[in-house]
A = this chain, B = another copy of it.
């Protein structure tokens, strides 16, 4: 079966292809009666996207980039949730998603150079990325999901306040009586890591607790296996930490494992705090106190912002901040008596 083209529709309706195109796009006035004729002839007709894109210079598709190392074999749950939000918002507005999961940015710039997308949503961008300036310089709209500082004067992004959130939970731990508080974070190449670390420092300084450098474990490549080791480092110290702020819930899980291996009770002997409040947090044993963040909403909001840009033709350099919620559960308590 040969596919129906705009010519077939035009013939069937007894009009020219221009008229068909006009009723399809609603671009200019068409007499009501002919409009109806054309619409009737449009059954089983679907415009070929590439033809339309070639001419109209827009693709109605958004490139979604997720920074991810293939060797991790596991995608951060917050990315997935953001992706879900992006997906729903895109669908609402008739946009499609081209997904690029990778560490390097050539895939992304290809999408741009080959005109495959109208805009981008970027997740997990490294501070050292130079993709952003390419996009800026070429007026390609994009929105960042998640933390980023960068050299640019300001980019369009939707984010949480990582620093504030970690500052809060650290203060919570301090309020519980903890002094020797450890933290495990990933590469400071990522703003979310450096911000969370900064939040920890801020809280500790605010409480006049001098930070022992062996309490802060920064890891370029924070897998669960690594996290477990780092947690053990923390626990083998003498005196050991009585609480650990984990970069995220996966890390917290690893900390749980380490604690178990070291024969430390949670929360009796060590308190643990996670981040992201992934689905497991509530089911862990003991249930994990964690910072919930609105990942889905981040994605959704980013998409809406991007679509607005696309409509208006200009990109706001604004940053939207969404709120986190600390989910208090049972993984934290006062430190053991000395």
Contact = CB atoms under 8 A, between A and B. Distances in A.
Given A87-B99, A87-B102, A96-B98, A50 B115 contact: yes
A47 interface: yes
Nearest to A256: B283
Contacts of A257: 283
A267 interface: no
A224 B250 CA distance: 19
A253 interface: yes
Q: How large is the interface on A (under 10, 10 to 19, 20 to 34, 35 or more residues)?
A: 35 or more
Copies of this chain present? 2
Contact of A73 (B47, B74, B84): B84
A296 to B, nearest CB: 6
Contact of A50 (B50, B96, B113, B256): B50
Interface in A67-83: 68, 70, 73-75, 80-81, 83
A272 to B, nearest CB: 12
Interface stretch (A53-61, A166-174, A230-238): A53-61
Contact of A296 (B73, B98, B283): B73
Nearest to A250: B279
Nearest to A44: B113
A80 B80 contact: yes
B74 A81 contact: yes
Interface string A237-251: 000000000000010
A43 interface: no
Contacts of A113: 46
B102 A48 contact: no
29 contacts: A1-B138, A46-B114, A48-B114, A49-B50, A49-B114, A49-B116, A50-B50, A50-B51, A50-B54, A51-B54, A61-B98, A68-B84, A70-B84, A73-B84, A73-B296, A74-B81, A74-B84, A75-B84, A84-B101, A91-B102, A96-B111, A97-B100, A224-B279, A250-B279, A253-B280, A253-B283, A256-B283, A257-B283, A283-B284
Q: What 10 A-B pairs are tightest by C-beta distance, nearest first?
A: A46-B113, A50-B53, A285-B285, A49-B114, A50-B54, A99-B99, A253-B283, A50-B50, A87-B101, A97-B99
